[in-house]
Structures are given as structure tokens and as C-alpha cells.
Structure 1
Amino acid sequence: MSDLRARAEEWLGQDPDPRTRAELQAILDADDGAALADRFGARLEFGTAGLRGELGAGPNRMNRVTVMRAAAGLAARLPAGGRVIIGFDARHGSRRFADDTAAVLSGAGLRPEVFADPVPTPVLAHFTRAFADIVAGVMVTASHNPPRDNGYKVYWADGAQIVPPTDAEISAAIDAVGRVDELPLGEGWPVHEGADLYLDAVSSLRLGGDRDVSIVYTPLHGVGRDVLLTAFERAGFPAPTVVPEQAEPDPDFPTVDFPNPEEPGALDLALGLAEARGADLVIANDPDADRCAVAVPGPSGWRTLTGDEVGGLLAEHVLRHTTGGDRLVATTIVSSSLLRSIAAAHRVRFAETLTGFKWIMKAGGAQSSSGGRGGSSPHSEPGSSGGRGGSSPHSSPVRLVFGYEEALGYSVGDDRGVLVNDKDGIGAALAVAALAADAKRDGRTLLDLLDAQARRYGLHATSQLSIRVSDLSLITAAMARLRAEPPRELGGRRVESFDDLARPAGDLPPTDGLRFRLAGGSRVVVRPSGTEPKLKCYLEVVLPVDGDVAAVRARAAADLESLRADVSAALG
């Protein structure tokens, strides 16, 4: 307890924020050992996703001291005099954290530039790779986390999030930072106005010509609305109807329990408005607008599409509107295997990566150059894995035209390559609108297109099982148990192969994950979450379709439930 008090008092002496100083002083005055241990017994770890955590005092919280230390560590890894672009969302503390970052970077001899107002994450990511003198970007956001959280993402000069070993180098530099009240701080950095650079690029995506589609849109109290509406206008689409209760940025997210469009109930207001207006489509962004959710009307009411369903539809739409065998599409090991089949049918290259958009972008060579649309990638045959990314003397130049992950993340492009080297919920929304307008012109819906894909490639049905724990040792024990005694059968299907992804697996870097390949093309992937105390299981069954697609969907749903039950039992 005395050690924790000493750490807390040292922190109190350097904290520039009166609110967190008052919080910490109250804890010290109350001699609250549990609160001190929670805040000072650990620290937020800086990794490839940067920082993310609850707001409050101490190293295990997001606060001005934590942010200034992160900025100083980043500065130590960047070349002197380099330009750094800084964006922020509308969460509690985001603007202050952006200004603190700029002050530290400026004091370290860098040239920071801060957006004047909150911006979507894809705007920042696109800007980062647009100019040769930009060496990094920082986005202050916690994406779709609860209101009490905030976070800090770091982008490299290519506009992609950092990957190892850069994250470990920055983390080590953060550890070497002394007191933040002794850091040299600059002042008077430039302010960047507006999102025109991104808007010019996204509204010029060449992905179809039809525009007749009616859309209800929600930004879920985030920062996507103004940029999305302007992008739709510039691209020639009718203005989407915005859910009025969720239109304005609000860091408290008052109409949703959890500001994530994947969560049950998050889209209820949008679906109700769409039903009342007879809309063709519902589109939702998460609060920083890097994810995109889609819902469509069907025979039994409105249906929210899965990330894998949208990913498959967008992949074919992009490939129909682009040309050349040097195109690359990429997804992660936990997303549907459908994309591999689509790539093979269209005779383009395919890459499978670790979970996280930073790895998808690396498959397209995003971190082997300092800018531009597209990049280079290891040689990959049509329909085959593209490897870990980067370039080599034997690489064939490719254009990453589409990447996606099942968690509603998509990056769309045209013949010039992807627009953003990260998830882009606004570009994806435009592409979905174009796809729906094309289908409407032909007297079809997105559900009809899904059925057509099922007939062509087989039905790829996916689902998840997530287990939240209060003790992380339970996750470690469950993973060890599965490694020691992998099941021979899951969901009535024989386990044909088992990959421990912690060991080198082909072109994939090691990661804490397990993959079970089942008879008939089905599979299960189990991994600990990188951002939450969860064990996540990704389930897929693949069934041939010969006749009634609805009947096959019903069978797939039953098979997924059987698979879910067996995986749950195997995890104990």
C-alpha cells in the first residue's frame, strides 16, 4: 500500500489536469487501497492498437499524463522536423488530448498539425499518407467503446496503423519518459480546417453509376454525419435521412447502451425510421466512422447483414468495377472463407492475414512505402494467400482494391487501389449505396444478391461465440486445454487439421490463436480478444446450395448452433 501511495503522490505532483488531480486526491484522502491498486497496480499497454482505456487518474487510465507520455515516446521514434497530423473525435477529453500531443511533439522538434474540429478516423488516416513530409498521424478516439473510455491510435507515414516492431519500440520509449511536467512543450502549431482532401477522394471512387436509393443513416452520436452527407452529395446520391435522436455528436451516447452498431438494440431507432419511411437501406457508422453496418428490408422485417455478408457483396461489386489480374483482395483468418472463392472466380489475388486492419493493409504493401494509392505485395496467385506483406526483389506489383474484416470493417478502392489504408466506414457506405442502387435498377435487393452468391459459391454462414471473464487466467487455461487436447470432432464434423497459430503457420506471423479446419470446408478459430477480457470464437459452416436457398440457410443456422455448443463444451 505504501508503494502505491508513493506512486500516486508522484503522479499527483506532475498531473496538469485539475479534474484527475481532484479524483486522485480524494482516493488518497480516503486511503482507498482498492482504487489505488486499480489505477497504479498496472498500466495501459501501448501496442499495435495504441492505447485504449477508461478515463481517470493513474497509469492504468486514459488521462493527460498518459497521453503526454505516449506523445513523448512517439516523438523519440520519429525523425526530427517531421510533420505529424493529429485528429480527434467528440469523446470526453479528445480535444484536450490532441492539443497535449501537439504540445509535446512540438517541444520535441516535430511539426504537429491539429484538425480544428472532430473528424472521422478515415479522414485522419487518408490525410496521413497524402503528403511526403508527414511521418506519422495520431487519432484520439476509442471508436465504439463505452462513454467512459478514450484511446490513442498511431498511424505511420503510409496511413496504416503501426505493426511490430514499431509498437514495441514506441512502448520502450514511453517507459523511458520521465515526469511530464519536465517535458519541453511547444505552442502555436498549425490548425487544419475541414475534410476536403478526403471528400474529394472518396466522392470520386468509380464504383457504379446508379444513384436511385433511399437510405436512413445514423452516426450513433459520433462524428461521421457531416462528412458522410457531404460525400453522398458530391457523389450524386440523394441525401440520406439521418436519425434525429442520434444525429449530433454526444460523448455520453444517450440513446444506446453501447455505441457499437453490432450490439443488439443499437440500430433500433434507425430501423424504426426506415420502416416508417419505406427506405431501401439502413446504414450506420460507429462513433468514429471507421465501421459500417447495413440493414435491409426482407419478407420477415428488417434484417441486419453480418460483416461477412457485406464483405462478400462489396468484394464482388469492387471487382466488377475494376480490371486487371494484378488486383488483390484481403481479409483475416477469422473472417469468412468466401472471399477466397470470390477471388478465384474473378482471377485476382487473395491474401489472408492476422486479425486487425493493420495486417490487411500490410498484405497490400501499405507499410513498404510512404504514400500513394496502393502499394506492393508478395507474389500471390489468383485465389491464393498473399503472405505477410512488404516488398522484395521478387515481388509482383499488385493493387489492393478491397480489404475487409468481419467486425464491420471495410476498405474499398477502384482501379487506383484502396482509398484509405485502414477501415473506412464512409467509403464503405458509398460503395454499399452504389451496390444497392445497381440492384434496385435490376429489380433486385441485397438479399437477392446474397442468395445468388450462395448458389455460386456455396452458403458460407458465420457466427461468433464470445466469453467474457473477470479473471484473465481463465482464458490462458482454456487455450492451454485446447492446445493439449484438441477435439477430434466439432458440431458433428470431423476436425481434419489443427493449427496452433502461436507457432509459425505459413506466411502468418505468430499469434495467440487456434484454428480447427473441419470436414466440408467449415472451420473454427479461437483467440483471446486484443482489447477486452474476452475469449472469442469464430464459427463458419459451408454448405452447397442446390435448390431452395432458404432451406439451406435454416440448416446452416442449426449447424452453427451445434458447433457453438460443442466449442463451448470444449472450452469448459
Structure 2
Amino acid sequence: MASDDVLVARAREWLAQDPDPETRAELKALLEAGAPLEDRFGAELRFGTAGLRGELGAGPNRMNRVTVMRAAAALAKVLGPGGHVVIGYDARHKSELFARDSAAVLTGAGLRVSLMAAPWPTPVLAFAVRHLGCAAGVMVTASHNPPRDNGYKVYWGDGMQIVPPVDREIADAIATVGRVDELPLGSAWETLTAERIVEPYLEAVTALPIGDARDVRVAYTPLHGVGGEVLTAAFRRAGFPEPAVVPSQAEPDPDFPTVGFPNPEEPGAMDRLLDLAAETGADIAIANDPDADRCAVAVPGPDGSWRMLTGDEVGGLLAEHVLARTSGDDRVVATTIVSSSLLGRIAAAHGVRQAVTLTGFKWIARAARPGERLVFGYEEALGYTVGTDKGLPVRDKDGIGAALVIAGLAAEAKRDGRTLLDLLDDQARRYGVHATAQLSVRVTDLGRIHRSMARLRAEPPRELGGRAVESADDLAEGVDGLPPTDGLRYRLAGDARVVIRPSGTEPKLKCYMEVVVPVAGSVPDARARADRALDAIRDDLAAIVD
């Protein structure tokens, strides 16, 4: 821990170069008050998970203009002059400012820059990297994090989020960047209009295997994010009726005033959407997260109440839909080590390979081997990428494209007098009930997560939910040919599994559970047995991780 004098010296050095009057005033007030500085200046945001993400504020352990300009200068050093970089941004606090600072630093370093003209979804940026033939892309977003956060996501020329060693090279280069007020800045970047990039993106996603049915009533929310305009345009172009949109959440608002957390997975986040769906008699309800790379789905049940589908349920439906509408034994589908095992059974039934990766779309998008085509990938956290026989138009999760395909699937089911719940029952009869659930423990002290993981490594449980723990794998040692990662996997008696890992983007310890139950009688009976088993496992997990 640095001394108070060292921290004050660091703060004054930061203050001298900070171009932002807001964070300068914030830091001056802290210095004048003699406030603690350890959290801001005793550490710095770590460049990982394809970039930076953290709370807004002054200091190297916060997201601010100095942090962003240093990251842009580091990216410029790794790329070298002459390359082309496309920059996008969402509607969060300071996103456009961070994007413009990045453009100034990159053009000042001799790179060509295309800066998007408006806040658009993350999948539009991921698409733009390859469409424009860029060397790299930058998206300023914190996705579904709380309002006080922002982030900086980097894509490489292949249109995918960066992975080692590129992320380490950028992190190392950040350490060599001097004062940002001494960086050469440029201003001759290109403004990328909707005609140049949103239109080609819409053309690509409306060519996905949507099917030919269009009679479906959709209720939708962008959760105060940037997805509304693009999703509505995509539905219109694809020939669907225009969705009914939650009025209070339709426009971008960086404060996300109607939700506690702007994440469709969080309790209460979908309440207004489900109210609208019931009022309008919708067949399906769809939500994007604020940067529209995730897609949440809810459907009405037989009793009229609405039920959220899990990411694994949507992933299974989309996988079967895509595999039925593509061809070739070179196809591959992919999901992560924490997602359901259902995808493997679907893949086997269609005669294609399933790849299992570490968590994160930077790994899913790279799942195909030479000579293979990735036609579908998903992660249980509501992220999906849908392809065609020509491959993936977006090599990252795409909440707009996924929404189009799930709407098409719902329209086909409706035409046949059925629902998505009926399709899920079909899969249960064919492959067994694959019931999944999560337990997340949000913390303010990150040390709690490290202590919990250390304790579980030292003393793995012998039983969970009345099922013997048959094997315990430390993912940090690398398993099944995967790179090492901080996580634990327990295989339980009776075809059940638990994976425990720290979140890569939020201060959470996350537990992923799965129970597989064959359908011998009715599907509801099998689901009830699976749910009881999950509840028992969850109760035991809560006791050992909290």
C-alpha cells in the first residue's frame, strides 16, 4: 500500500494532465478535503476481458478521459501507423467524449479513423470492423453495467474481441504512455453515417435464417439503451409488424431511471416489458440490454402469466432452428463451459461438431477449426450469434440478429398453432429436460470472492443437493484442452453439474447449475423433478459460497 504522500503526488500529477473539467474539479475537492485516495490511485483498471470497464471518476482506477486516452495511445503503438480503426459508442455518460478522445489520439498517431455518427449497438461496431476492412475496432460501452460505469472494448481485424497475446501487448503498452497532455492529437477522422454502416448491417442480419412466417406480435424494450431504432428498422426491413415498445424505456438514457440494474437478467428489469406484453396481447416479449448485444425473451404460459426463457433455452431453440436451415458437415456450433450440455446433444442429432469454450464471445467466435464454419454460438448470459451457410455476419453476440430469428421462430410456431413452450417440450422429449439455474453473490469486497475460491479449492464439497460430488476439476489447471481460467467444476451423481467462477465484468461470484432428467412420462413431471433437484443444489451452494 502506497503512503499518503505518494498517493497525493500521483493525484497532483494526474490533475496536471487531465483534460476533463469535471474530473479535475472532483479530484481538487478530494485533495482539499484530505479524502482517502488509495482506491483511486493505489491501483489501476486492468486491461482485460477485451478492454477496460469500471466506474467513472478521476484516477487510474476509474474510467475517465486520461484512462481512455492512454488506452488509445497504447492501441496505436501496437497497431503502428497507417492502419484503419473504426470507433463506436453507446449512450452512457461520457461515451461520445471518450470515443472522440480516442479518435484524436489515434489520428494523431498516424492511423485512419472512422468514428460513428451516433450511438449505435455494439454488434454494429463488430460488423463494421470486417465490413470496412479495418485493422481494429473500439466500442465505448459498459454493456449492462450500472449507470456509473463505462468501458472500452477492443476488436481486432477479424471482427472478434481481442485475446492473448494482443490484450497483454496493449496492457504493456499502456504502461509506457506518458502524460496525455503531451500526446499528438489529430482531428481529420471520417464521420461514419448510418447509410455507410447501419444499412449494410441491416442487410446482413435480415438475410439470416429467419424463416418465412411473419405474423407475430412482439413487445420490446431497449432498456434505455441504443437498440430501439436499429431493432425497429430491422423488423420493418424483414417484414415483421413493428414491435410495441415500452414508452418509458424507449429512448437512450444513461441514468437508466426505471431499473435498478439495466440487465434483463436482474430481478425487476423486465417488469414494464411484461406489463406491456400482457396489455397488447403480444405473442412474445423481447428485451435488449443497453448496447443491444444481448437478447432476453419471455413468452406467455398456459395460465396467461409470462415466463422468462433462460439463455440456455433460447440457445437450444436457435441452435436447432439454424441447423435445420443450413447444410454441410463442416458446420460447428459453440457454447461455453458454463452453458447447458443440451447443445452437444442437438449437435450430435444434426451430425455436426459442438465446440465448448471458456466464457466469453471472444472464445466462442474462435471455436471453428480450419475448414469449419461456425454457424451458431451462444452463452447462457443471453448472448447469441446466428450465421448462415456463408458464416457469421457478426463475430460477436448480436441482440438484434437474435431477436429477428427468435421472432421468426415464434411466428412459425404460431402459424402451426403452437408456441415456443411447445418447441421446448419437443426438445425435452427428444433430449431430456436440461434444467439450468444460476446463483450470483454480488460483493463490495472483492477479497470475499478470492477467499471463497481459495476455500473451495482447499476443501471441495463432498455432496450438493443430496448428490455425491463424483469429480472436482480446477479450471485454473486447464481441462478438456481449454486454457487455464479461474473456476471450479463439480460433476454430481445423476447427470448434474456445477461450475463456480468469478464474473469477468462485475463484482460477483457466479454459480452455474445443470440437472438433466430423462422424460419417461410427462414433460411437466420431468421438469418438476429437475426443478426440485436444482433447488436442493442451490440451497447447499448458497451455504458454502456466501
Q: Common fold, TM-score beyond 0.5? A: yes
Aligned pairs for 1:420-569 (under 5 A) are 420-569=394-543
Q: Select between 489-498 and 137-146 the one with higher mean Cα deviation.
A: 489-498
Residues 86-125 of structure 1: pairs in structure 2 closer than 5 A: 86-125=87-126
- Larger deviation: 202-211 or 79-88? 202-211
Which residue identity does 1:127 align to in structure 2? A
Aligned pairs for 1:142-291 (under 5 A) are 142-194=142-194, 195-291=198-294
Report deviation, 1:418: 1.8
Q: C-alpha displacement at 1:474, in angstroms?
A: 2.6
Q: CA deviation at 1:119?
A: 0.7
Residue 404 of structure 1 pairs with residue 378 of structure 2:
yes
Give % identity. Answer: 70
Indicate if the aligned counterparts of 1:145 and 1:258 stay in contact, CA closer than 8 A: yes
Q: Aligned partners of 2:418, 2:80: CA distance in 1, in Å?
A: 53
CA contact (8 A) 2:108 2:186 kept: yes
Deviations 1:231-260 (A, max 9, x none): 111111111111111111111111111111
- Aligned partners of 1:207 and 1:414 also within 8 Å: no
Letter in 2 for 1:341: R
Please give the secondary structure, in 2, of the residue aligned with 1:486.
coil
Which 5+ residue runs of structure 2 have no aligned equivalent?
A: none
Task: Give the superposition deviation at 1:343.
Answer: 0.4
Q: Do residues 298 (structure 1) and 301 (structure 2) align?
A: yes
Q: State the Cα distance separating 1:519 from its structure 2 match.
A: 2.1
1:369-384 aligned at under 5 Å gives the runs 377=369
Note if contact 1:126-1:159 (Cα within 8 Å) is conserved in structure 2. Answer: yes
1:302-341 aligned at under 5 Å gives the runs: 302-341=306-345
For the residue of structure 2 that corresponds to 1:403, the secondary structure is strand
Amino acid at match of 2:242: A
Q: Which moved more, 1:175-184 or 1:518-527?
A: 518-527
Q: Aligned to 2:329, what secondary structure does the other structure show?
A: coil
Structure 1 equivalent of residue 65 of structure 2: 64
Structure 2 contact 49–505 (Cα < 8 Å) conserved: no
Deviations 1:255-300 (A, max 9, x none): 1111111111111111111111111010000000000000000023
The aligned amino acid for 1:19 is: E
CA distance in 1, matches of 2:527, 2:212: 32
Secondary structure at 1:414's aligned position in 2?
Answer: coil
For the Cα contact (< 8 Å) 2:472–2:489, is it kept in 1? yes
> What is the CA distance between 1:568 and its match in structure 2?
2.7
Kept in 1, the 8 Å contact 2:50–2:155? The answer is no
In structure 2, what is the Cα distance between the partners aligned to 1:44 and 1:25? 21
SS of equivalent residue, structure 1 residue 323:
coil
CA RMSD between the two structures: 1.1
Output the amino acid matched with 2:531: A
- 1:20 pairs with 23, 46, 49, which one? 23
DSSP-derived class of the 1:495 partner: strand
- Deviation, structure 1 residue 221: 0.8
Q: Distance in 1 between matches of 2:283 and 2:55?
A: 38
Letter matched to residue 309 of structure 2: L
| Structure 2 Cα separation of the partners of residues 48 and 253 of structure 1 | 24
Aligned equivalents of 1:564, 1:124: Cα separation in 2: 38
Q: 1:157-208 CA deviation, whole Å, 9 max, x = no partner?
A: 0111011111111000001100000001111211000111211111111331
TM-score by length of 2: 0.97
Paired with 2:250 and 2:505, the residues of 1 have a C-alpha distance of 28
**CA–CA separation in structure 1 for the residues paired with 2:292 and 2:239:** 21
Q: What is the alpha-carbon distance in structure 2 between the residues aligned to residue 250 and residue 62 of structure 1?
A: 19
Write the letter of the residue equivalent to 2:135: V
Letter in 1 for 2:338: V
**Aligned residue identity for 1:453:** Q
Query: Please, which runs of 5 or more residues in structure 1 have no aligned partner?
Result: 365-376, 378-394
| Matches of 2:478 and 2:228, distance apart in 1 | 43
Quote the Cα distance in structure 2 between the aligned partners of 1:71 and 1:457: 48
Offset of residue 138 of structure 1: 0.1
Distance in 1 (CA, whole Å) between partners of 2:143 and 2:453 is: 28
Q: TM-score, length-normalised on structure 1? A: 0.93
**Residue by residue, what CA displacement relative to the aligned partner does 1:85-132 show, whole Å, maximum 9, x if unpaired?**
000011110111000000000111111110010110000000111233
Tell me the distance in 2 between the aligned counterparts of 1:472 and 1:58. 19
The letter of the residue matching 1:166 is V
- Give me the whole-angstrom Cα distance separating, in 2, the residues matched to 1:534 and 1:250: 25
Contact 2:347 2:354 in 1 (8 A): yes
Counterpart in 2 of 1:54? 55
TM-aligned CA deviation for residue 493 of structure 1: 1.8
Match of 1:361 in 2: 365
Contact 1:48 1:164 in 2 (8 A): no
Write the letter of the residue equivalent to 2:241: P
Q: Secondary structure at the match of 2:364?
A: helix
Q: Which amino acid aligns with 1:506?
A: D
Q: Residue 477 of structure 1: CA displacement? A: 2.4
Following superposition, the deviation at residue 472 of structure 1 comes to 2.6
Residues 391-418 of structure 1 show CA distances to partners (whole Å, capped at 9, x for unaligned) of xxxx4x1110100000000001111112
- Structure 2 SS opposite 1:331: strand
Aligned-partner SS, 1:113 = strand
For residues 207 and 348 of structure 1, the distance between their equivalents in structure 2, rounded to whole angstroms, comes to 21
Q: How many residues align?
A: 539
* Cα distance between partner residues in 2 of 1:205 and 1:535: 36
Matches of 2:254 and 2:459 in 1, distance apart? 46
Deviation at 1:512, TM superposition (A): 0.8
How far apart, CA to CA, are the structure 2 residues paired with 1:59 and 1:542? 46
- The aligned counterpart of 1:346 is 350
